[in-house]
Amino acid sequence: MTDLMDRFARKARPDEPELASPDEPSWNVPGSGAADRGAPSSRGPGGRTPRSSDSGGDGDEFATSPEFQEIKGRLHRKLLEGLNLALLGQRNRDEAEEEVAALVRRLLAQENTPLNLGEREQVVEQLVHEIFGLGPLEPLLKDPSISDILVNRHDQVYIERDGKLVPTDIKFKNDRHLLQVIDRIVSAVGRRIDDSSPMVDARLEDGSRVNAIIPPLALDGPHISIRKFRQDILSAEDLLRNETLTEAMLEFVQAAVKARLNILISGGTGSGKTTFLNMLSESIPHTERIVTIEDSAELQLRQPHVVRLETRPPNIEGEGAVGQRQLVINSLRMRPDRIIVGEVRGAEALDMLQAMNTGHDGSLTTLHANAPRDALARLETMIQMAGLSFGEAAMRRQVASAIDLVIHLSRHSDGRRRVVSVAEIVGMEGEVITMQDIFRFERRGLDPEGRVVGAFRASGIRPRAAEQLQSVGIDLEETLFTDLRSGSR
């Protein structure tokens, strides 16, 4: 018998945190592990009361039944009484999970309620998630087809799948249960969430980015937003295949990276900026030294010579924070060939632009904006955050001379991400920065299935940057900028 089972007889410490009090029905997870709804079935297994629940499939039906919740609650209580969670936490997670699962199976065997194998395994799985993981979120975290998880309330969880937001029937038992899961997430990264610090950014073990916000700031109860970390980052081929951009556009932007143009990737939330930045950075030669600066490390560069820096939030006493600006300044002393800032948000924009203007060409960054022009306006606002008194014209000149290309992405209503504009900054006209589109996506409308109809087009203008490209030996065909046969629908 294993250590864990031996220890089962021992009492848990009285101050042991209880993840979810097991006395009420807690949450249900569709048997498929995902949140899809099947056709409701009226059959109640083993003569149990049939439910008219809206979750589909036999497994789902069982998972929402009072019997299931009752058994699970009872076993959960027994587990919490008997397990030493602190000791468990020190074990190899896979082994510990296996042992708890074996334990639950043994306890189940002693139950009077007749359960079939599938039902037993559902109880085992949910209890293991409750003890070790993030409870109801676990199946969503494991499902690779889900990119975002948005918990609006304890009983309302949305996911993003294939670029679209859809509701699930995943539920937490109550606000307290949800708060316990949040607490688990934030305490794992040495932070806390409470009245005095009701907003927290954190990262899960697998790299997923998490934001949690609780009352009084969140009016309807605790809230979590999770951007899942994708191990299989989208490659240039993937983006061509799913028509994020065309071959001609790709060829140009990759050449721009090689020729050390300074590139700003802009777009709305979740429009694919980080993904695009990752893909673009593949074109940086392996001989160059790259320094990356991020709030939450998401970039996955494959080059050998990379230094990754991440900001640090303040500690529990509110001290020790290290922001992006400090990291950008520090990075300049690290002899970088390229600086990549995951997302510019504030005063670091000034230092980044100054670096671009003083020999650190080839820098890449993303910025949250709804249009390429907005991106430039936002950069100006960020420069002002640095607290220096810049005249407007001086500020614009700084932007215009630092940034060479603005690549703007959109997430369209059909769930697809597209590069809607690749624009070059060509200088200033009076007080206005002049930009010209080299490529753009022209949207014509929606087809009957709700898909966006449109086409990528070259503007026909040969970019001024073509000369800079030539100077490093990249001679792009003239037709690239005039002819876009590879344009999509």
Give the residues lining the site for Mg ion (CB under 5 A): 273-274
Conformational region of residue 473, where left means phi above 0, alpha means psi within -120 to 50, and beta covers everything else: left
Contact region with ligand ATP (CB under 6 A), list: 263-271, 288-296, 441-449, 451-459 = 263-271
Among 242, 326, 330, 401, binds ligand ATP (CB under 6 A): 242
User: How far is Cα 77 from Cα 71, in angstroms, rounded to an integer?
Assistant: 10
Query: Which of 72, 171, 177, 273 is the binder for ligand ATP (CB under 6 A)?
Result: 273
Span interacting with ligand ATP, options 273-281, 429-437, 445-453, 470-478, rule CB under 6 A: 273-281
Report which residue type is found at 125: E
- CA-to-CA distance for 22 and 345, rounded, in angstroms? 43
Token output for 74: 């009872």
Cβ nearer to ligand ATP, comparing 260 with 417: 417
Reduced 3-state DSSP string for 206-256 = CCCEEEEECCCCCCCCCEEEEECCCCCCCCHHHHHHCCCCCHHHHHHHHHH
Q: State the binding string over 111-150 for ligand ATP (x if CB under 6 A, else -).
A: ------------------------------------x---
| Site for ligand ATP contains 227 (CB under 6 A) | yes
Element (H, E) at 433: strand 432-446
The candidate with the shortest Cα–Cα distance to 69, out of 99, 42, 49, is 49
Q: Which does 168 bind (CB under 5 to 8 A by kind): ligand ATP, Mg ion, none?
A: none
From the list Mg ion, ligand ATP, none, which binds 402 (C-beta under 5 to 8 Å, kind-based)? none
**Which of 127, 159, 185, 239 contacts ligand ATP by CB under 6 A?**
239
Does residue 417 touch ligand ATP according to CB under 6 A? yes
The nearest distance, CB 139 to Mg ion, in angstroms, is: 25
Classify 344 as helix, strand or coil: coil
The single-letter DSSP state of residue 266 is E
Closest CA to 385 of 327, 346, 353: 346
Asked whether 207 and 298 are in contact (CB, 8 A), the reply is: yes
DSSP state of 301: -
Which one of ligand ATP, Mg ion, none is in contact with 459 (Cβ closer than 5 to 8 A by kind)? none
Q: Which phi and psi angles does 301 have, rounded to 5°?
A: -85, 145
Instruction: Give the Å distances, CA to CA, from 451 to 287, 291, 412, 416.
Output: 42, 39, 9, 9
Q: Does 275 bind ligand ATP (CB under 6 A)?
A: yes
Three-state SS sequence of 456-489: EEECCCCCCHHHHHHHCCCCCCHHHHCCCCCCCC
Residue 275 binds which of ligand ATP, Mg ion, none (CB < 5-8 A, kind-dependent):
ligand ATP
Rounded least distance, CB 277 to Mg ion, Å:
8
Find the binder of ligand ATP among 274, 363, 365, 398 (CB under 6 A).
274
Return the number of the residue (173 or 227) whose C-beta is nearest Mg ion.
Answer: 227
- Residue 79 Cβ vs Mg ion, minimum distance, rounded to whole Å: 39
With CB under 5 to 8 Å by kind, the binding choice for 227 among ligand ATP, Mg ion, none is: ligand ATP
- Which residue lies nearer to ligand ATP by CB, 73 or 139? 139
Give the sign of the dihedral formed by CA 112, CA 117, CA 118, CA 122: positive
- Chain residue at closest Cβ approach to ligand ATP: 272
Least distance to ligand ATP, CB of residue 42, Å: 37
Show the binding pattern over residues 355-394: x = contacts ligand ATP (CB under 6 A), - = does not: -------------x--------------------------
Nearest to 245 by CA among 420, 33, 51: 420
Residues 147-186 that bind ligand ATP (CB under 6 A): 147
CB of residue 239 to ligand ATP, shortest distance in Å: 5
- Phi/psi at 392 (5° precision): -60, -45
Least separation in angstroms between residue 387's CB and ligand ATP is: 26
Q: At what angle do helices 392-402 and 348-357 cross, to 10 degrees?
A: 60
Residues that bind ligand ATP (CB under 6 A): 147, 227, 230, 234, 239, 242, 244, 267, 269-275, 368, 417
